[in-house]
């Protein structure tokens, strides 16, 4: 049924992660998923992950059978993609853009509709732990907003934000998993340097990051307060915290979010 179907224009990693997350949550069936991509390799990889999904080369075929269409292409490819789709778009199609940096006004002009929700998700949607920000276009009604929020919340958390803040969401949670992977790798390296086997060090590091994040989310306490709870006077933790401050970790992470946000703004203006 078209009213239950979800299409992905672009069958890359993010599209595959979202589609698999939606299916894993039980919100949609695998057979209700359709993806289109000019790359045979991308289509094959998507099909390998979701063998019951429909995978096509033609965006027109996808539009015919999808009630909700996710735009999941690179920003530089979007104008060509939208131009080729505009004549085939039906008025009842809801578009969801996960294209970094591209504004609602640009999407509306390119698609010929303002029934659009702009979203910035991240790849942990595959394990039900995505952090997404979203905002709706003028033509998206309350049901549209609720449906998109439901999809996003089935794979993590979703926070509505003004469009002007979506680039900051991109810099923080969109790019953030890469920053956290570097932190996990570095913690593991530290453990190995101190004699731990690599596998044990990596598992301990990853679980430590996961547990600390859950403490922030579940307790609602400020991260600084939680830090203080494990930082005894003259103890091991404060010695490590001092080393982090001397190395500029806090400033480096802030600069990473700023740089990623600025790049999102550049992509939106190009």
Q: What is the pLDDT of residue 75?
A: 85
Which residue has 């996960």 as its token pair?
A: 98
Please name which of 229, 231, 209 lies closest in space to residue 221, comparing C-alpha atoms. 229
Range with the poorest average pLDDT among 32-36, 131-135, 264-268: 264-268
Q: What is the pLDDT of residue 1?
A: 41
Q: What is the pLDDT of residue 267?
A: 79
User: Is the pLDDT score of 235 beyond 50?
Assistant: yes
Mean pLDDT of the chain: 92
Query: Stretch 36-48: mean pLDDT, rounded?
Result: 94
Q: What is the pLDDT of residue 43?
A: 94
Task: Give, in order, the Cα–Cα distances in Å from 165 to each of 85, 113, 137, 213.
Answer: 28, 22, 14, 23
User: Is the pLDDT score of 134 beyond 90?
Assistant: yes
- Can you tell me the distance from the alpha carbon of 8 to that of 97, in angstroms, rounded to the nearest whole number? 10
DSSP 168: H
Q: What is the pLDDT of residue 270?
A: 61
- Can you tell me the distance from the alpha carbon of 245 to that of 233, in angstroms, rounded to the nearest whole number? 17
Domains of the chain, start order:
2-162 (3.40.50.720), 176-269 (1.10.3730.10)
Task: Give, in order, the Cα–Cα distances in Å from 18 to each of 26, 111, 119, 130, 252.
Answer: 13, 22, 12, 9, 30
Q: Which H or E run includes 176?
A: helix 176-193
């Amino acid at each position: 049924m078209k009213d239950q179907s979800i299409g992905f224009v672009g069958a890359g990693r993010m599209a595959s992660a979202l589609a698999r997350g939606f299916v894993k949550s039980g919100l949609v069936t695998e057979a209700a998923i359709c993806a289109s991509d000019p790359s045979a390799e991308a289509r094959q990889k998507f099909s390998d992950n979701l063998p019951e999904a429909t995978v096509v080369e033609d965006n027109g075929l996808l539009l015919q059978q999808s009630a909700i269409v996710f735009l999941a292409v690179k920003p530089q490819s979007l104008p060509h993609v939208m131009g080729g789709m505009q004549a085939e778009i039906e008025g009842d199609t809801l578009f969801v853009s996960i294209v970094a940096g591209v504004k609602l006004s640009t999407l509306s002009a390119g698609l010929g509709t303002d029934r659009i929700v702009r979203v910035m998700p991240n790849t942990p949607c595959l394990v039900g732990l995505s952090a997404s920000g979203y905002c709706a276009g003028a033509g998206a009604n309350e049901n549209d907003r609720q449906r998109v929020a439901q999809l996003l919340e089935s794979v993590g958390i979703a926070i509505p934000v003004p469009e002007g803040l979506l680039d900051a969401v991109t810099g923080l949670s969109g790019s953030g998993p890469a920053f956290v992977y570097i932190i996990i790798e570095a913690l593991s390296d530290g453990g190995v340097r101190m004699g731990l086997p690599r596998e044990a060090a990596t598992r301990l590091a990853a679980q430590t990051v996961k547990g600390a994040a859950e403490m922030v989310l579940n307790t609602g306490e400020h991260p600084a307060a939680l830090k203080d709870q494990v930082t005894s006077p003259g103890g091991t933790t404060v010695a490590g915290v001092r080393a982090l401050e001397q190395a500029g970790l806090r400033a480096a992470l802030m600069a990473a979010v700023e740089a990623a946000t600025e790049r999102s703004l550049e992509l939106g203006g190009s």
